Structure 1
Amino acid sequence: MTLFTGALPVVGGSPGRHAPRVAALGGGHGLSATLQALRHVSTDISAIVTVADDGGSSGRLRAEFGVLPPGDLRMALAALCDDTDWGHTWRDAMQHRFTPLPTAESALEGHALGNLLIISLWDLLGDPVAGLQWAGALLGARGRVLPMSRTPLVIEGDVLVDDGGRERREHVVGQSALGHAGRRQKIESVTVHPADAEACPEAVSAVREADWVIVGPGSWYTSVMPHVLLPSAKAALVGSSARKVLTMNLVAETKETPSMSAADHLVALRRVAPEATFDVVLVDPGVVEDTEAFETAARDMGARVKYARLGRADAPEAHDVLRLATAYREIFHEHEEQ
């Protein structure tokens, strides 16, 4: 296997080479890492973000105002901020959370300023896509951020619970509850509602017009899978002529995925979307315990495996942005040469 150690990529590519149009699908910290990496590879980036979050500040605002959960959208905007003092300052302001005095109570406690700014723009403009565009302009975002759907979604699933040596099935509703299912539980299936919600038209266009679509990394059931659980979003992905990369997490076993191997992640995704194929599965070799099983699962999705060292030296469970950028650049160039 060929490993890449994270040499600094050159922004903008070779002279005369057109920057690839890239659509990145996901949510949360995983999508943030992807976007920060892609900034070194392309100047034409569309982030398409899940809208099922119901926890924390996003969950409170969603419940109180009936809006899309803004948190993951805010994180994507911050990841694409302009690399200047202006961009960094507004990024930090957007990410700032209010903390009242210990003796005081405040409705603002725990809210991120960016969440409040985003829903303010939505209220003023009456259009979530336009609101995100204006928020992106404030940060000088190098790319655009789009919701997966204009309709807030609910994710739920059936979970197998170990109850004193006997398994029982439990239905769990909500991304936050499902994401914290715990190690005593195993997620058996997931769905999103309303199932007939339409994918955001601008997101559909971005996926269809992309040269490359990047899916993952991220929480497997609550950030990655929603993009193939919503029928209209899955149809856009399956119908796109773009080349597709599935980026694996750096840790196989999490609270969402206890006792699951890297190969099991691919099998779970294929189970809910057998028609979704990929060109490349990008993975850190340290995640793969059974190489043969993993490569077989990747081939079943139409993909070859690209191994690359992707973890940070100081935090091996987090993606190193430059290593990830190098891996994406290598993948793009390898396919240009074919």
Structure 2
Amino acid sequence: MTQPFKHKVTVIGGGTGIFPVTQALQRLSTDICSIIAVSDSGGSTGRIRDEFGFQPVGDLRQSLAALAEDEAHTWIRQLLLYRFNKGSGLKGHNLGNLILTALQDMTGSTSEALFQAQRIFRIDGTVIPATQQDVDLKIKYQDGTVVVGEDSLNEQSRPTKKIDRVSLVPNCRLSQPAKLAIQQAELIVIGPGDLYGSVLAALAPSGVRPAFKNSSAEVMYVVNLMTSAAQTHNMTAAQHLTEVEKAVGKRVDHVLINSARIPPKVIKLYQANQEFPVEDDLGNDQRAIRADVISQVVHQPSDQDNLKRSLLRHDSAKLEQVFAKLLKDTPV
């Protein structure tokens, strides 16, 4: 029996940001490969990483859960996302993180742990760490300050400090599976998500630029809905785009930006933290795709989760419509 044709799509970023992107593409029956940053050092992931010394699994687990989109995987998705709300040792931990950590311990490899998780849970799609090495995010600010650790970006003591660049320490290479996923894709979707902590962290390993150079894929960048006080204070859409293009070494083909009005009550919540809607200053740039892509559901943070999460997120159903048209127009 002939297998139905599937467009090969590679998604790059972190777990929470690209969750709705992955869900949207999964509904379109695409062949999805997610390349995920592995420099996370906060929350449940950070606690497990400190104790076991393995690569962080939080964003990898989020990406697996996003691939478990269909009704048959409902309980699997809920298990991967389940967070304990009591227990002196378990409170705040995510069950999916513990499962992946156990598989890392059993297999001795993050990549093998992911492969076995995908096989056990019968998940259609692939999740790949951006690098095989254990790394931390190094952040250099324009005033010369240097800090190490992705969790330092969550500190609200730097709302006006501008980031100059981020890198990974120690120096590392793009994993071979990630390299192939970039080179063999028809469409590459970058973001959304924390610009420096997730998106650029996933694009920081050496070898990323040559991989993009040797890829014929169309590249889309999904602009964040809101700025981040600790990372992108007052940065416009064009400034976000510039940072991404510097990382990949080429112009992207499409830039998706929200055109819908954000509810004033939501804006007010963000303004309390010096965060605002990302300004659309792309003007007549023909690459800009403007669409209503915001979710009407405002995320309610868990009391057991000590990390700051986005209240406003992209809507997977609305993203699905954008991707469907884009893939229809993509040459096979």
TM-score (norm 2): 0.83
Query: Is 1:54 equivalent to 2:49 in the alignment?
Result: no
Q: Which residue of 1 aligns with 2:302?
A: none
Identity of aligned residues (%): 31
TM-superposition CA deviations, 1:207-227 (whole Å, max 9, x none): 111111111111001111123
Looking at structure 1, the residues matched to 49 and 208 of structure 2 have their Cα atoms a distance apart, in angstroms, of 22
Looking at structure 2, the residues matched to 20 and 172 of structure 1 have their Cα atoms a distance apart, in angstroms, of 40
Looking at structure 2, the residues matched to 72 and 64 of structure 1 have their Cα atoms a distance apart, in angstroms, of 18
Greater Cα shift, 307-316 or 75-84: 307-316
Q: 84, 92, 105: which is aligned to 2:78?
A: 92
TM-superposition CA deviations, 1:40-93 (whole Å, max 9, x none): 2233111111000001111122122111101000000011115235x2112212
Q: Which residue of 2 aligns with 1:153?
A: 135
TM-score (norm 1): 0.82
Looking at structure 2, the residues matched to 153 and 313 of structure 1 have their Cα atoms a distance apart, in angstroms, of 36
Give how far 1:275 is off.
Answer: 2.1
Give how far 1:288 is off.
Answer: 6.2
Gaps of 5+ in 1: 1-15, 161-167
Secondary structure, in 3 states, of the residue corresponding to 2:10?
Answer: strand
Q: Which residue of 2 aligns with 1:330?
A: 325
Secondary structure, in 3 states, of the residue corresponding to 2:162?
Answer: strand
Give how far 1:131 is off.
Answer: 1.3
Q: How does 1:241-320 map to 2 (within 5 A)?
A: 241-270=216-245, 272-273=246-247, 275-286=249-260, 289=279, 291=281, 294-295=282-283, 304-315=287-298, 317-320=312-315
Looking at structure 2, the residues matched to 288 and 256 of structure 1 have their Cα atoms a distance apart, in angstroms, of 13
Residues 156 and 178 in structure 1, CA contact (< 8 A), matched pair in contact too: no
Task: Give 1 or 2 for the bigger CA radius of gyration.
Answer: 1
Query: Is 1:141 equivalent to 2:126 in the alignment?
Result: no
Looking at structure 2, the residues matched to 277 and 42 of structure 1 have their Cα atoms a distance apart, in angstroms, of 27
Matched AA of 1:80: L
Give how far 1:179 is off.
Answer: 4.0
Greater Cα shift, 203-212 or 228-237: 228-237
Gaps of 5+ in 2: 261-276, 299-310
Looking at structure 1, the residues matched to 94 and 278 of structure 2 have their Cα atoms a distance apart, in angstroms, of 36
Looking at structure 2, the residues matched to 153 and 255 of structure 1 have their Cα atoms a distance apart, in angstroms, of 21
Matched AA of 1:310: V
Q: Which residue of 2 aligns with 1:234?
A: 209
Secondary structure, in 3 states, of the residue corresponding to 1:229?
Answer: coil
Q: Which residue of 2 aligns with 1:42?
A: 29
Looking at structure 1, the residues matched to 71 and 159 of structure 2 have their Cα atoms a distance apart, in angstroms, of 42
Matched AA of 2:190: V
Secondary structure, in 3 states, of the residue corresponding to 2:100?
Answer: helix
Query: Is 1:203 equivalent to 2:189 in the alignment?
Result: no
Secondary structure, in 3 states, of the residue corresponding to 2:75?
Answer: helix
Give how far 1:269 is off.
Answer: 2.9
Residues 238 and 277 in structure 1, CA contact (< 8 A), matched pair in contact too: no
Q: How many residues align?
A: 302
Residues 252 and 262 in structure 1, CA contact (< 8 A), matched pair in contact too: no
- Let me know the Cα RMSD of the aligned residues: 2.4
Greater Cα shift, 133-142 or 215-224: 133-142
Residues 82 and 141 in structure 1, CA contact (< 8 A), matched pair in contact too: no
